[in-house]
Amino acid sequence: MKKNTLKYFINTLLFIDMSSIAALGLLLGFVIPKGKALSSNKYFLGLHRHEWGDIHLYLSLFLLVLLVFHLWFNWAWIVQSTKRYFGNHWKNFLWVISCAWIIVLSIGWVVVRS
């Protein structure tokens, strides 16, 4: 399979997956009741709220896998663009960005856990 065909396939899957995650997030946040609602009200299309949450989780994990492939296939473009904008400091910038998302995820994890 050609590299561009594979990139198109991965980007299409990324779009479908992110759209599905967003739709399920809205469904879980605004349609299916949470908390002390009757258990019978927590079903949508025959699936319980927790089952929808599981689907949301699996789609999110699949998104991470797709993102790794997306970055891998586009790495040369990322490096060249970063060099164009940041010159000799392009490696430092990529390290800062890499560390920044780990810090953001860690803060989010701490906030959710508390």
Query: What's the confidence (pLDDT) of residue 10?
Result: 94
The Cα–Cα gap between 88 and 34 comes to 51
Q: Where are the alpha helices (DSSP H) in the chain?
A: 3-26, 49-73, 75-86, 90-113
Tokens of 17: 């997956």
Residue-wise pLDDT for 48-67, tens only, equals 888 898 999 999 999 999 99
Residues of the chain with pLDDT under 50: none
pTM: 0.75
Q: How is the chain split into domains, by residue range?
A: 3-73
| Token representation of residue 67 | 């993102």
